[in-house]
Amino acid sequence: MEFDLDTGWQLLPAGGDTGRAYIGIRAEEKVFLKRNSSPFLAALSLEGVTPRLVWTKRMGNGDVLTAQEWLNGRVLLKEEMDSPQVAKLLRKIHTSLPLKKMLKRVGGVKTTPADFLELFQMDLDPELKGHPLIKKVQQKLTEESKSLPNVSVSVCHGDIYRKNWLLSDESKLYLVDWDMALLADPVIDISMLLYQYVAREKWSEWLLEYGEPLTPDLLKRISWYGMINLLNRIKQYHQKGRFHEMNHDLMLLEKVFQPTESFPNLSVD
């Protein structure tokens, strides 16, 4: 990929599925570069949610290149995802009025339970459409969506995967990769995190660190969004031909659909 940059820059792929992220190195300067990031990134940087935005540059082909400070650090381990630090940063994001205002300004649209169901059904492979468990779960989610509490939407990350959490060498925690940001019930993030990384007996404790008591209504929302998250992951695995992971999630979906007192976390990594 050619960038219209000053001379002296060395560019290295930074990985990821989109191929839009690079590491830029020039002399003693090192930055994280990305093509066509959302303008929402500036607000995230100001709130201290992501590493500091250093500069933006419009290239000759119309693309916009953003540069963020490069921080030495690491991604979180699975066993660190239930920490109070994670809960507090997620709460900060979900309750931030500046972030909500900016996401609305750049085109963020409210996504309702009915929208999530419609998005899942869009372009769904016939093999999954006819799957008995998926049909039962869809029916249950459709029925329950009508009685879910009408809550105020928040800025949600949409992909609370541990490798999107960066802990700097100075012990500052950041949440990165905001390509799936949306305005929705914050439980879309909470359920994803709880089911993947937090033991069921620790949910109440984690939610108190986040700032919410575990009530029957909240538990109902967690279950609903946990299932829609799993459905979407199953769909993505099927599209990518990753059938081992898809079958793993189908077994987990059965456990969430018919819950017992204890069940394993949903993470395969």
Taking only the tens place, the pLDDT of each residue in 106-126 is 888 899 999 999 999 999 999
Scan for tokens 């599925």, then name that residue. Answer: 17
Amino acid at 83: S
The stretch 164-172 carries a mean pLDDT of 94
Q: How far apart are CA 46 and CA 25, in angstroms?
A: 24
Supply the DSSP symbol for 264. Answer: -
Determine the pLDDT at residue 38: 75
Beta-carbon contacts of 222 under 8 Å, excluding residues fewer than 6 positions away, are 187, 190, 191, 194, 195, 203
Share of the chain above pLDDT 90, in %: 66
Collapsed DSSP state (helix, strand, coil) of residue 146:
coil
Q: How far apart are CA 145 and CA 122, in angstroms?
A: 18
Scan for tokens 């290295």, then name that residue. Answer: 12
Pick the CATH number of 75-257 from 3.40.50.1100, 3.40.50.300, 3.90.1200.10, 3.30.360.10: 3.90.1200.10
> Does 113 or 56 have the greater pLDDT score?
113
Let me know: does 175 contact 49? Beta carbons within 8 Å: yes
Whole-prediction pTM value?
Answer: 0.86
Scan for tokens 């029925």, then name that residue. Answer: 143
Amino acid at 141: L
27-42 pLDDT per residue, tens:
777 788 887 677 898 8
Pairing relationship of beta strands 53-58 and 29-35 according to DSSP bridges:
unpaired
Domain boundaries, the chain: 10-70, 75-257
Determine the pLDDT at residue 269: 57
User: Known catalytic residue: 6?
Assistant: no
What are the Cα distances from residue 12, in Å, to 64, 71, 265? 18, 16, 35
Let me know: does 175 contact 140? Beta carbons within 8 Å: no
On the 0-12 / 13-18 / 19+ scale of CB atoms within 10 A, 139 is exposed
Confidence of residue 266 (pLDDT cuts 50, 70, 90): low
Report residue 170 as tokens: 């100075």
The stretch 226-234 carries a mean pLDDT of 96
Instruction: Kindly name the residue from 6, 159, 169, 177 that is annotated as catalytic.
Output: 159
